[in-house]
Structure 1
Amino acid sequence: MLLTSRSLSRLGHWAAGLLTGLVAMAAHSAPLVMAIGDSTLFAPLQLAAQEGFFAAEGLEVQVIGCINGRRCLKHLTDGEAQVATVADTPMVFALHAGHRFDIIATFGSSSRDTALVARTDRGIAKPADLAGKRIGVVRGTSAHYFTNVFLLVNGVPRDSVNLVFIDPIRGAEPLLRGEVDAAGLYRPTGPQALEQLGAKGVQLPTLRPYTVMVNLVAQPGLSQDTLLRLLKAAQRGVALLNGQPGRAHELLGARWKLDARHAAAQLDGYEFRLSLDQTLLSTLEAESRWAVREGLVESRAVPDYLELMRVEPLRALDPRAMTIVK
């Protein structure tokens, strides 16, 4: 059979349409890859994955576990994940490095997540004793910013201490081995370090705590429907923690290899709820100024954090959770 030019044109359009449809179907059927942190801060999303809340909202989700929020965010910026859980400070470093993502919601906060743990056998009993000492921090994390705030509010000059960047994979090992004299550590590493140090360890008091905020971020371009379903699943995790704490502690304890009582203690001092508010905006802006001042980032331009907040999904889920004006 001879094909006319018109036939060939129609065949080409049909083939192109078929290819587009197949690509769309493949994209639709592919699981949504989500990086969820292993530490205490990320408990609601851990529960959402563990209890099948994503599937209940019609989402097929593949979870990547990560040691902290900074690593989760790197999975997203490297293109390995489409959604990530992350505290405020790593977002600042990633955005100053030129990465872009949508901030979807805050789902938790705590002023007790991070602690300054010191060795008493190095002559440290109070904040002023930190002068001349080595303080370990994981660079670009909430513990890094916490340590900066701790020194500032307790009157310890920044240039009087030596900040040592430690590998998060080593946990509290640098402090336990005496490679540093003190460390800014988030849960569960901080409490574990105190327990292992025994009489040689102390958690230093602070005049004013820093409140860490943990967030859900996504690659630009995800649909409103997908993000709304994600938020509904996250909301289920939050509701389980707040409404059925006993069951939540048992589930998380099994995940963390703790009994329910120790899991409850691990979660003490956390507030979990979905929100987008002015506090997050002001925190990110303050951290940007600190990162620029300390020479921790190359770009000195403060990102437009308000512009990066994708408010529509949370507003559709619960308008009362929105206290930021955009």
Structure 2
Amino acid sequence: MTFLKPLALAALIGLPGAALAEQLTFAWSPNPQTPQVDIAIKNGYFKEAGLDINFVAFRTGREGFEAMLGGQVDITFMAEFPAAVGALTGQEFGVVADLARFTGSRVIVNTSGGAVDSPADLAGKKIGTTLGTNVNFYLDKILTEAGIEAELVSAAPPDLVPAVARGDVDAIVPFPSFYSAARTTLGEDYGELRVPGYQVHYILSASPTMITERSEVLEAFMGALAKADADVKADPEAAIAAVSASMSGAMSPEDIAAQWEDVDIGLSLDTGLAELLVAEADWILAQGVVRGEAVSLEDMLENFAPAALAAAMPDAVMLP
């Protein structure tokens, strides 16, 4: 997909010199992986940039992405996996930034049925996950690389922890937001197997309108996040406090700090993300989840729109 040349925007109200705030709808809800948004809100960076943001929450990033594709949302926050599906199905969107990378993906085990010390120990076990998602992609990668087979059981994300606690399955590969609940629920029977090789990327995607006709608004949005990104790096403790406050105490500062040990926070946009999306697209086709043609790296990069981030943080963009 090729985007048109950005058009200049001007928004003035009747009084001379008084600027009218640009409105945009952002699909985002408080979470521990995107402190740049919390800091931009807390420190008033969006308002300073002349933006009036309507925040809307969806249960999943996929739903937010679909709302953006349907014209209900201007910018959405999500894990990277829906972008692979969007590229396969020829949707029009642009990946505009990568906010953070989660490096602690894991298999969670109920050790009452035996410990799991290596991927080989998963052979023949009953493993719960949510099929057709990035955690399914991660689990399949583990099993394939280990050359083993296991029985996969599909379940909705909230049902996985109860399933492994009851012993309906031996292990689960849930979304990271359920790790804490699994540890608490399983107690002494909690075990985990961390297998490197996959990072969850928490990205921002924007509509074609934001990338073209409203490019200056998108640049203002990314400029506010760039200021917040610098604040997060300069004072992580303040950022953790802001995230905990925005989550209304659902996670304590201590819990967030512990989770951040597995999170690489910082705005970026690079070829590594595009390569991961290509690999996920290939996997989706192999699973028969979506029918279509394979997406090359060159084609995938057509779905990247780096201009706004490059304007705010030139060094953050590492694309050909």
TM-score > 0.5, shorter chain as reference: yes
For 1:178, the aligned partner's letter is: G
Identity %: 25
Write the deviation string for residues 273-307 of structure 1: whole angstroms up to 9, x where unpaired: 22221111111111111111222222233262111
Deviates more, 1:218-227 or 1:139-148: 139-148
Deviates more, 1:233-242 or 1:245-254: 233-242
TM-score normalised according to structure 2 size: 0.83
Q: In the alignment, what sits opposite 1:269? A: 262
Q: In the alignment, what sits opposite 1:34? A: 26
CA contact (8 A) 2:269 2:316 kept: yes
Q: In the alignment, what sits opposite 1:312? A: 307
CA contact (8 A) 1:102 1:310 kept: yes
Could you tell me which runs of 5 or more consecutive residues in structure 1 were left unpaired when the two chains were aligned: 1-23
Q: Aligned to 2:44, which of 39, 46, 52?
A: 52
Q: Aligned to 1:247, which of 222, 238, 250?
A: 238
Q: Aligned to 2:222, which of 228, 231, 234?
A: 231
Give 4+ residue runs of structure 1 displaced > 4 Å after superposition: none
Write the deviation string for residues 113-153 of structure 1: whole angstroms up to 9, x where unpaired: x2210111233423223222232223443322222222233
Q: In the alignment, what sits opposite 2:175? A: 186
Deviation at 1:50, TM superposition (A): 4.8
Structure with bigger gyration radius: 1
CA contact (8 A) 2:129 2:135 kept: yes
CA contact (8 A) 1:137 1:163 kept: yes
1:323 aligns with 2:318: yes
Name the CA shift for 1:37/1:116 in 2 (closer, same or farther; >3 Å).
farther
Name the CA shift for 1:226/1:176 in 2 (closer, same or farther; >3 Å).
farther
Name the CA shift for 1:292/1:230 in 2 (closer, same or farther; >3 Å).
same
Q: Within 5 A, what are the aligned runs for 1:1-326?
A: 31-112=23-104, 114-126=105-117, 127-153=119-145, 155-157=146-148, 160-170=149-159, 172-206=161-195, 208-222=196-210, 223-254=214-245, 255=247, 256-302=249-295, 304-325=299-320
For 1:173, the aligned partner's letter is: P
Structure number with higher relative contact order (C-alpha < 8 Å, ≥ 6 residues apart): 2
CA contact (8 A) 2:310 2:316 kept: yes
Deviation at 1:62, TM superposition (A): 0.7
TM-score normalised according to structure 1 size: 0.81
SS in 2 for 1:116: strand
Cα separation, 2, equivalents of 1:32 and 1:178: 46
Cα separation, 2, equivalents of 1:227 and 1:185: 33
Name the CA shift for 1:270/1:205 in 2 (closer, same or farther; >3 Å).
closer
Query: How many aligned positions are there?
Result: 295
- Tell me the C-alpha RMSD between the 2 structures: 2.5
Cα separation, 2, equivalents of 1:107 and 1:277: 12
For 1:100, the aligned partner's letter is: E
